[in-house]
């Protein structure tokens, strides 16, 4: 199994809602990532988890809250988002966190904030 699975594929939420994005991999990878991608732009790193511990937070606003319940799962909890947070949210995993590691991406969650 070489897949990273993200759910839901699409999400529409209001600015007062609370929602969560989910990501799962069963490749035994020990690093997992959240990226944000606006239309026609490259992915931007948000968070990195290594061995289930948060290792990198790229100064992401607190309305985005990551969680890594176990080595296979990664969640992104969303609360009080703004319309400018509308984007494609990508999850990725790699065997380790080293920069020579190959990243495996999911298909993303397309988020719209109204």
Partner 1 sequence: DAKTTQPTSMDCAEGRAANLPCNHSTISGNEYVYWYRQIHSQGPQYIIHGLKNNETNEMASLIITEDRKSSTLILPHATLRDTAVYYCIAPSDSNYQLIWGAGTKLIIKP
Contacts with 46 (C-beta within 8 Å, 6 or more apart), sequence order: 33, 34, 35, 36, 57, 58, 60, 64, 66, 76
**Residue number with CB closer to partner 1 (53 or 102):** 102
CB of 3 to partner 1, least distance (A): 10
CB of 36 to partner 1, least distance (A): 11
- Peptide bond before residue 14 is cis, with ω within 30 degrees of 0: no
Nearer to partner 1 among residue 30 and residue 79 (C-beta)? 30
CB 80 within 8 A of CB 69: no
Binding interface with partner 1 (CB under 8 A): 4, 41-45, 48, 56, 90, 92, 98-100, 102-108
Tell me the closest approach of the beta carbon of residue 90 to partner 1, in angstroms.
5
């Amino acid at each position: 199994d070489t897949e990273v699975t993200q759910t839901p594929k699409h999400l529409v939420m209001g600015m007062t809602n609370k929602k969560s994005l989910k990501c799962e991999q069963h490749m035994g990878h020990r690093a997992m990532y959240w990226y944000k991608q606006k239309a026609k732009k490259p992915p931007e790193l948000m968070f990195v988890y290594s061995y289930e511990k948060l290792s990198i937070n790229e100064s992401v606003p607190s309305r985005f809250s990551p969680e890594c319940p176990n080595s296979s799962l990664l969640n992104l909890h969303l609360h009080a988002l703004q319309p400018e947070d509308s984007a494609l949210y990508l999850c990725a995993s790699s065997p380790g966190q080293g920069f020579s590691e190959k990243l495996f991406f999911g298909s993303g969650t397309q988020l719209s904030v109204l």
